[in-house]
Structure 1
Amino acid sequence: MSGVQRREEILLAARAVFAERGYAASTDEVARAAGVSQPYVVRMFGTKRELFLEAYKVASAQIVAALAAVPAGPDAARRMGDAYIGLLEDRDLLRLVMHGFTAGADEQVGRVARHTLGEAFRLFLERSGADDQAARTFVAQGMLINVLLAVDALAHRGEDAGLDALVKCVQDDIDGRASA
């Protein structure tokens, strides 16, 4: 396996481990998940912080790329929503992004998180031609979906009536997009 392939494999393992455990995860856990030694991970990425930051940058860039791939036009708002919903298949991607939003004390991670939110807003405005309110709603809906995934709301249906109702609203939005 080439060094580039091994690096990608480690970043995928880091995505899964950091998505599950957040920044509390260790480079040893990532190494085990990737099937390599911990010193190899450190040699390749440096510190745990640098590994987290790189995995976070890759995940954030994937979200921005999915939104940027939607061409401007009258159906851009729907298509951007569909593009974001398509990202839900990779639960680790969105959970890792959530951990980055809470790691704001780290200036570099915070910068990437702020840029990702800003780009989602800017791209929605640019592609859809909608107003600020619609773009804000788009970003807010995406964040709500992320939070519901992070707390594993679907697996805990029936525990809380309010949460069940909120999940249903989001599920109706997602199902409505899928059938449109």
Structure 2
Amino acid sequence: MSEHIAEKVPGPERIPAAERREQILAAASRVFGERGYSGATTDQVAQAAGISQPYVVRMFGTKENLFLEVIERALGTLVTSFRAVIAEPRPHGAEGAEILSQRLGLAYVDLIEDRGILLSLMQAFITGHDPVVGAHARAGFLSIYRILRDEAGFDPEQTRDFLAHGMLLNTLLAIRLPDIFEEDEDAGELMRVAFRTKLDVVLGAAGRAPVRAAPGTPA
């Protein structure tokens, strides 16, 4: 009887450590993605995760350690997504290479649904001057390059073009171009041609209403 009553007594929610860790990293990805490494604080991360700041410090130590974990989480998610796409069956030759490039591009944009992943990576790349963060960012960027070249089979120029397009997408997100999608005709045009069939995913992640692509927009 006492056990039955105890189950109904409200108390603090107990979450497994691994789940709590992921909760903090997801919140930290958003905070670092929006504010950058210098502008973010562990207190802001704690507030975003709905926990206390001392708990964040106990689990991760310094802000630097937390940011490095955020980078590893983002890179791990990206690598897992790319490798899943690479493993999918496709035709051989040039047709297969084109299909793979399109699939990888779509998978990359899909990561926007976890808003912090791409923006936190962008923040890591622009913090290259930091001796610790910069080393992790360079290693991560080169790991993506090698996956595209060695596992996807892109030649160096194809890999360059793919990465350049990805950085364009990151830039459009970082400058919040979706915020003025409907207000600025040129912003809308650029976003349509950059995000193509994934435009609604991007607008949805930014809290904007989905739209129908303009006639003639490439798929």
Query: If the length of structure 2 is used for normalisation, what is the TM-score?
Result: 0.71
Any runs of at least 4 consecutive aligned residues in structure 1 with deviations exceeding 4 A, and if so which?
173-176
Aligned to 2:30: 16
Residue by residue over 1:143-175, the C-alpha shift from the partner in whole angstroms, topping out at 9 and shown as x without a partner, is 1001101111122234474x5443232133756
Matches within 5 A, 1:1-180: 1-23=15-37, 24-71=39-86, 74=96, 75-157=99-181, 158-159=183-184, 161=186, 163-172=187-196, 174=198
- Report the RMSD for the aligned CA atoms in angstroms: 2.4
- Equivalent residue letter for 2:33: A
Cα distance in 1 for residues equivalent to 2:45 and 2:51: 9
* RCO higher in structure (CA 8 A, sep ≥6): 1
Sequence identity percentage: 42
Structure 1 range deviating more: 108-117 or 96-105: 108-117
Q: Distance in 2 between matches of 1:65 and 1:54?
A: 16
| Structure ID, larger Rg | 2
Q: CA deviation at 1:44?
A: 1.0
Change (3 A) 1:35 1:160: same
TM-score, with structure 1 as normaliser? 0.85
Q: Does the aligned pair in 2 maintain the 1:76–1:127 contact within 8 Å?
A: no
d(CA) in 1 for partners of 2:163, 2:30: 24
Amino acid corresponding to residue 125 of structure 1 in structure 2:
R
Moved more, 165-174 or 88-97: 165-174
Higher-helix-fraction structure = 1
